[in-house]
Structure 1
Amino acid sequence: MKKIAFIGAGNMNGAIISGLVQGGFAPKNIMVSNPSAPKREALQSTHGILQTSCNIEAAKFADVIVLGVKPHFIAEVCQQLNENLDLTGKCFISVAAGCTIKQIEQALNQPCTVIRTMPNTPSQLGCGVTGIYANALINDEEKAFTTALMESVGIIKWLDSEQQIDHIIAVSGSGPAYFFLFMEAMEKQAKAYGFNEQDSRELVQQTALGAAKMVVENKISISKLRENVCSKGGTTQAAISAFSEGGLEQLVTHAMDTALNRAKEMAQKA
């Protein structure tokens, strides 16, 4: 069985570790490295994995190295590993936004399989979406392993080009915040109607959960689901008309394009 090193003990790496262990992956084959002790020790205590403060020790231990540090630290970490280890045969998986495969390859300065992934925050609950793209060195075994790794926290989509990573960011990576903002607005108005804070939240969150489950559990289109709620001349149709008149669709398009452009800018600056 392959051994995995997680560089960084943040929420995303923690979520993947949790998903792996719950799925039956042996904790003895997982090591996490992190400069501060509390996070890595918490992961060790919870999941029984190995831990270290040394990135080099973790990378030496592993066949697969998951880069889970902030994007502006990726190059520094990769250069550190390149200067101290023979990386032959090792596979690198990045979960950092805004850092391209070419930038990682240049920092590693050794021929390695480099896989770029873009998971979103619901991955922390096992309900994530991850877009994946790899360089030309990936083999079938590495592809299958990466698929299993990221499916431990949700669904995955292998992409035809690295450019599509930015598209995934605009749709699913940033997407949860779009829904949170809409839910915030609904919660605020529920309070204005006189519902208390707890009831307002529960009304909104259960409505959102129910709507999402209806999309998941029905094969009909989302537009048809919407139409099914809208009785002609009824309350829902009145609300939907107000959204349309306010330019909701155009605003969503503009917001997602803005996220996409920002993703491209981040990649250029990294």
Structure 2
Amino acid sequence: MKTKKIGFIGGGNMAHSLISGLIASGHPAQQIWVADSDQEKLSSLASSMHVNTSATNDDLIAQVEVVVLAVKPQSIAAVIRASKASFNKANILLVSIAAGINQQSLSKWLGADKAIVRCMPNTPALVQTGASGLHANQNVTEEQHDLAENIMRSVGIAVWVENEFELDAVTAVSGSGPAYFFLLMEAMEKAALELGLSQHTAQLLIEQTALGAARIALESSESPGELRKRVTSPGGTTEEAIKTFEQGGFTALVKKALQAANDRSISLSKELGAE
């Protein structure tokens, strides 16, 4: 892994996070290349992380064994088409972290023989606690499979799905998931203010409680349902709150929300896909 040359087309926040994670996990900075149209971003990455920068995407592709596409989904087609000749000359792995761009579209733009791994990371990757879903096409070798996984594991956990359509569910669960928790935290904060707490106190209590609950869930072998029961004493305050959530249709609403996100992920693939 440490001898592999990895290139990032796009030097935005997610690329910055992945590069930081790779370097923190021991990958040499001199084995990493970045290309971006924003010269300030390139200068910043070069000075802060000591990575290589490329003036063009074609120059980058010629240098590396793995290309991470880290540009906006709307730009993917144009980026690939502009450098298709370079991609055709190179026997490389393409890792796409662009939401809504499926492998059928990527293969159409690149060529059916190209090794492609499609990833769905989420924003906690920016603080090295991400959750990413991955799917590889049939051209990906075992070594390339491990390479893609190691790249994404540098910023959190990485799980493989057997079928590409499962990435729509990954998008609904973990890709969009941080916003669901922020929404709950936002609602709790508003309620806490009405109960008389100061904003600072409410925010601190809610954030630490969210962190603690997540850590217990990660470190426990029990299901979330069992953990919930453990802190829900009969006749107590927690039971009253849980009853209120359930009476308001909480579980059904969550199911409906995730289905909506899943459906939107599917429609985005059609909107942004190959023409």
TM-score by length of 2: 0.95
- What's the counterpart of residue 149 of structure 1? 151
- What's the counterpart of residue 165 of structure 2? 163
What are the ranges of 5 or more consecutive residues in structure 1 without an aligned counterpart?
Answer: none
Q: Among the aligned pairs, what percent are the same residue?
A: 37
- What's the counterpart of residue 120 of structure 1? 122
Q: Structure 2 CA distance, aligned partners of 1:136 and 1:85? A: 18
Figure out how many residues of one structure are paired with residues of the other and give that number: 270
Q: Structure 2 CA distance, aligned partners of 1:238 and 1:2? A: 55
What are the ranges of 5 or more consecutive residues in structure 2 without an aligned counterpart?
Answer: none
1:87 pairs with one of 64, 86, 89: 89
User: Is the 1:63–1:91 contact (alpha carbons within 8 Å) kept by the matching residues of 2?
Assistant: yes
Which moves more between the two structures, 46-55 or 168-177? 46-55
CA 1:85–1:230 in structure 2 vs 1: closer, same or farther (change >3 Å)? closer
TM-score by length of 1: 0.97
Q: Structure 2 CA distance, aligned partners of 1:85 and 1:160? A: 26
CA 1:110–1:57 in structure 2 vs 1: closer, same or farther (change >3 Å)? farther
What aligned pairs does 1:50-65 form with structure 2 within 5 A after superposition? 50-65=52-67
Equivalent position amino acid for 2:251 in 1 = E
Match status 1:131 vs 2:137 = no
User: Is the 1:118–1:132 contact (alpha carbons within 8 Å) kept by the matching residues of 2?
Assistant: yes
Per-residue CA deviations over 1:30-69 (Å, capped at 9, x if unaligned) read: 1111111222222222211011341111111111100000
Equivalent position amino acid for 1:249 in 2 = T
Shift of 1:248: 0.3
Shift of 1:111: 2.4
- What's the counterpart of residue 255 of structure 1? 257
Q: CA RMSD in A?
A: 1.2
Q: Structure 1 CA distance, aligned partners of 2:89 and 2:15? A: 21
User: Is the 2:33–2:52 contact (alpha carbons within 8 Å) kept by the matching residues of 1?
Assistant: yes
Per-residue CA deviations over 1:141-174 (Å, capped at 9, x if unaligned) read: 1011111111101111111010011010011110
Match status 1:97 vs 2:105 = no
Equivalent position amino acid for 1:105 in 2 = S
What aligned pairs does 1:235-254 form with structure 2 within 5 A after superposition? 235-254=237-256
- What's the counterpart of residue 9 of structure 2? 7
User: Is the 1:71–1:96 contact (alpha carbons within 8 Å) kept by the matching residues of 2?
Assistant: yes
User: Is the 1:27–1:49 contact (alpha carbons within 8 Å) kept by the matching residues of 2?
Assistant: yes
User: Is the 1:16–1:149 contact (alpha carbons within 8 Å) kept by the matching residues of 2?
Assistant: yes
Segments ≥4 residues shifted beyond 4 Å:
none
Shift of 1:98: 0.1
